[in-house]
């Protein structure tokens, strides 16, 4: 089989983001020490406040989990994972039950598919 290699050039125009030229304001950035950067310093680099890491609302279902797992995660398992993430108390327990039940159901599906091959 022949090895075909493609090559080319891509030019992407950047933004006019503000730059900080003052090493005293961003000591970790200018020194290359990227671990343990203080929030204030990162906000200076980012140019705005950083999010607090919390969210409100519900995470909704999509096909990403099943696709990332190569089809090993079925719809019932995805629903269970979402119930676990979004729920507290009873919803968490129901989600765990769906996840475990879906796992065994998916094992059966995989066995049937393998038998057909």
End position of a domain, from candidates 53, 73, 100:
53
Full residue range of the structural domain in which residue 69 is found: 64-116
Q: Domain for residue 7, yes or no?
A: no
Q: What is the pLDDT of residue 109?
A: 82
Task: Using CA atoms of 9, 16, 51, 78 in order, give the dihedral in degrees to the nearest 10.
Answer: -30
Q: What is the pLDDT of residue 66?
A: 64
End position of a domain, from candidates 8, 32, 53:
53
Q: In the block, which residue shows the tokens 């919803």?
A: 91
Q: What is the pLDDT of residue 70?
A: 67
Q: In terms of pTM, does the model score above 0.85?
A: no
Quick one: 46 and 89 in the same domain? no
Q: Tell me: pLDDT of 13 over 80.
A: yes
Quick one: 39 and 79 in the same domain? no
Classify the phi-psi angles of 67: left when phi > 0, otherwise alpha if psi is within -120 to 50, otherwise beta. Answer: alpha
> Which one, of 25, 48, 19, 21, lies nearest residue 37 by Cα?
25
Higher pLDDT, 11 or 62: 11
Quick one: 42 and 68 in the same domain? no
**DSSP of 13-64, one letter per residue?**
----------TTT-HHHHHT--TT--HHHHHHHHTSPPP-S---S-PPP-SH
Q: What's the CA gap between 29 and 41, in Å, rounded?
A: 9
Q: What's the CA gap between 90 and 97, in Å, rounded?
A: 11
Average of per-residue pLDDT across 66-79: 75
In this prediction, residue 113 has a pLDDT band, given cuts at 50, 70 and 90, of confident
Q: What is the pLDDT of residue 78?
A: 82
Phi, psi of 43 (to 5 degrees): -60, -40
Total structural domains within the chain: 2
Higher pLDDT, 60 or 106: 106
State pLDDT tens for residues 21-71.
788 888 998 898 888 889 999 898 888 898 887 777 777 776 666 666 666
Quick one: 109 and 81 in the same domain? yes
Q: Tell me: pLDDT of 20 over 80.
A: no
Quick one: 28 and 70 in the same domain? no
């Amino acid at each position: 089989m022949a090895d075909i290699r493609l090559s080319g050039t891509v030019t992407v125009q950047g933004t006019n983001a503000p730059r900080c030229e003052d090493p005293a304001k961003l000591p970790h950035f200018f020194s290359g020490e990227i671990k343990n950067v203080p929030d204030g310093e990162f906000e200076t680099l980012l140019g705005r406040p950083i999010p607090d890491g919390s969210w409100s609302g519900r995470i909704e279902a999509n096909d990403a989990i099943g696709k990332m797992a190569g089809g090993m995660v079925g719809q019932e398992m995805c629903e269970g994972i979402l119930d676990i993430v979004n729920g507290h108390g009873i919803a968490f327990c129901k989600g765990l039950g769906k996840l475990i039940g879906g796992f065994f159901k998916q094992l059966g599906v995989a066995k049937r598919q393998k038998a057909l091959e």
